[in-house]
């Protein structure tokens, strides 16, 4: 609990963190993943507290000093996405009751929440096979949902041109398969065929699924100004990237 309180207090000192709703701790920027993270932010206090909290949870669970339910209860006392990400990460590592994993996976808000997507996918990869067929088909159905008008507006906003029908279809297929590639061995045969075709067209089925990643731009000008990027929500930034 002490580490959880310290992490909560540290996040609240960050002027960019907002309680919302929904709460946003900007952790996608300073903690790319719970397992390791980015070297760029290793010296930051919040980064180190996440590492300490992760390792403490691992140690307590390994020694059976505390139950998985108790760990999740403590982490669940805080509103920040980083605590949800820690919960999902813990569940992805422990061999526990399928009901615990199901309570996180069979939840559309969690499925659509870009702030916790990487850790959600880790748990989905670990626990999808243990879900019943009805739950599996429900998640597949969520992955296949596609708002063409919203996507058209987003692509138009960032490219300056309305997407063609072919580009929209490519976006639809990519969105669906990108969410399902982590459990491809457990999908119906038609979706496995779609994934193989997608890979043949150049998709990397094993690429990292971080919502935000670092890259470099070489050229006389930036494609977007600092002010433009800073003004984006995480959801708009993911769409832009």
Q: Which residues, given as ranges, of the chain have pLDDT below 70?
A: 37-39, 96, 212-241
Residue 220 and residue 105: Cα distance in Å, rounded?
45
Cα distances (Å, whole numbers) of residue 164 to 104, 152, 169:
37, 9, 9
Token look-up 């050229």 returns: 219
163-200 pLDDT, tens digit per residue, is 888 988 888 889 999 999 999 999 999 999 999 999 99
Give the tokens for residue 71: 């760990």
Residue 240 and residue 227: Cα distance in Å, rounded?
15
Judge contact between 152 and 163, C-beta under 8 A: yes
Token look-up 């969105």 returns: 175
pLDDT given for residue 216 in this prediction: 43
For 191, residues 6+ apart whose C-beta sits below 8 A from its C-beta are 140, 177, 180, 184
pLDDT given for residue 217 in this prediction: 44
pLDDT given for residue 43 in this prediction: 80
């Amino acid at each position: 609990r002490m580490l959880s309180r310290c992490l909560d207090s540290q996040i609240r000192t960050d002027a960019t963190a907002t309680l919302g709703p929904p709460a946003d701790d900007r952790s996608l920027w300073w903690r790319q993943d719970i397992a390791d993270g980015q070297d760029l932010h290793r010296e930051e206090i919040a980064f180190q507290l996440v590492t300490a909290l992760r390792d403490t949870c691992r140690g307590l669970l390994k020694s059976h000093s505390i139950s998985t339910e108790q760990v999740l209860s403590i982490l669940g006392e805080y509103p920040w996405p980083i605590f949800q990400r820690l919960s999902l990460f813990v569940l992805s590592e422990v061999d526990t009751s399928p009901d615990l994993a199901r309570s996180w996976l069979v939840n559309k808000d969690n499925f659509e929440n870009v702030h916790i997507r990487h850790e959600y996918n880790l748990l989905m990869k670990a626990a999808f096979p243990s879900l019943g067929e009805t739950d599996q088909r429900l998640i597949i159905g969520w992955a296949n949902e596609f708002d063409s008008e919203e996507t058209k507006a987003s692509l138009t906003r960032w490219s300056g041109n309305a997407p063609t029908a072919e580009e929209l279809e490519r976006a639809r297929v990519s969105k669906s398969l990108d969410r399902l590639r982590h459990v491809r061995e457990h999908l119906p045969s038609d979706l496995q065929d779609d994934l193989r075709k997608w890979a043949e067209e150049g998709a990397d089925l094993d690429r990292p699924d971080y919502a935000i990643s670092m890259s470099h731009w070489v050229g006389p000008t930036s494609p977007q100004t600092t002010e433009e990027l800073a003004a984006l929500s995480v959801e708009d930034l993911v769409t832009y990237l």
